[in-house]
Homo-oligomer: A and B are copies of this chain.
Amino acid sequence: MAQAQNSISKIPVGILGATGMVGQQYISLLNDHPWFEVRFAAASPRSAGKKYSEAVAGRWQLTKTYAPHVGGIMVEDANDVSRAAEAFKKGECSFVFSALEMSKDETKALEEKYAAAGIPVISNASAHRWTPDVPVLIAEVNPGHTDIIPMQKKARGWDRGFIAVKPNCSIQSYMKPVHALAQAGYPAQRIVVVTMQAVSGAGYPGVPSLDVIDNVVPYIGSGEEEKSENEPLKIFGSIENGVFKNAEFPKIAAHCNRVPVTDGHSACITLEFADKKPSLDEIKAIWAAYKGLPQEADLPMAPRQPIIYREEENRPQPRKDRDTDKAMAVTVGRLRPSNVFDIRFFALSHNTVRGAAGGGILNAELLKYKGYLG
């Protein structure tokens, strides 16, 4: 565990949507963060004006509780950007993590208001994922996409604020394994992916228990399959003329299912290589050696080894493996040849940590490391 610095010297951060499930996860994960400290919290008008401890009374979902000083923070109305701007001026909020749970249009507009007010927004919401000049970051995969930030600022006329987002939690388990292979000269041409997703992905109250006890639901809702198919193309894409141009491959067909698991999204991947076909041993070696900028820069939230391969024939499993390396590592197993296409494997990622708040914090660390957070 990293040594806590003097609290004075930490960067003050705010959480938008602080009382929701992802907001709680942010607050819990930032309890002992060496760089960042939660000093500002905003949520719906219903929570505004209450102390954080009151706003989440009876709704706190996690085993690990919030830090005492967070319990005393007065929750602001997230719609009132002036409150954050004021906090920014007083040095109480250097940037915000957005875990807003509004409609797409409302979220989009509100996040832009924060950015326009000079406050960088690192968002979990899906609203801006297809905005052409907003980067969708997986810190190990496309750290270079932060290069668009100066162009975004300039085009929008924003001074210090900007928007950066993370992709959908459903793709986290296979993006790094696929990226590792592409980087080693083995890009994928086509992928069939079937996910088995945890109920925490739907927030709280989220999925009714009558839908998952002794059951599977073959549908997640809200364009989950489309996101799983399209977001990778932006992440593998390039910047041209100040906007992102999607990659053309891999073509992905996704089936997204809900299973009776609390945390941890699993995926069964069937993959066709575009060209050369590595041996299974080569693939394992590539995954074992895979490192990204977060590992090289030793960012606090980075997993030491981003992809962990399990040799047991019945692993990974969500309950037993989701928490590997602070729940930030992707765990992979069952690599084998395939009758259809080239290879098959199984992959697992913790959806509310790596796939949500933990991934967002890692993105913030990346942005701080690159100098975008002041």
Contacts and interface: CB of A to CB of B under 8 A. Distances in A.
Contacts of A323: 63
Contacts of A217: 314, 317
A253 B338 contact: yes
Interface string A196-220: 1001100011111111111111110
Contacts of A215: 261, 317-320
Nearest to A215: B319
Contact of A255 (B216, B312, B344): B344
A133 B97 CA distance: 59
Nearest to A207: B209
Copies of this protein in the assembly total 4
Nearest to A230: B339
A214 to B, nearest CB: 4
Contact of A219 (B57, B218, B314, B321): B314
Interface residues of A, number: 63
The 8 closest A-B pairs by CB, nearest first: A205-B208, A253-B340, A194-B194, A255-B268, A219-B314, A215-B319, A218-B346, A214-B214
Given A57-B312, A253-B338, 20 more contacts: A58-B314, A191-B340, A199-B213, A204-B208, A205-B210, A206-B208, A209-B209, A209-B211, A209-B212, A210-B262, A213-B213, A213-B260, A214-B319, A215-B261, A215-B317, A216-B261, A218-B333, A252-B340, A253-B340, A255-B334
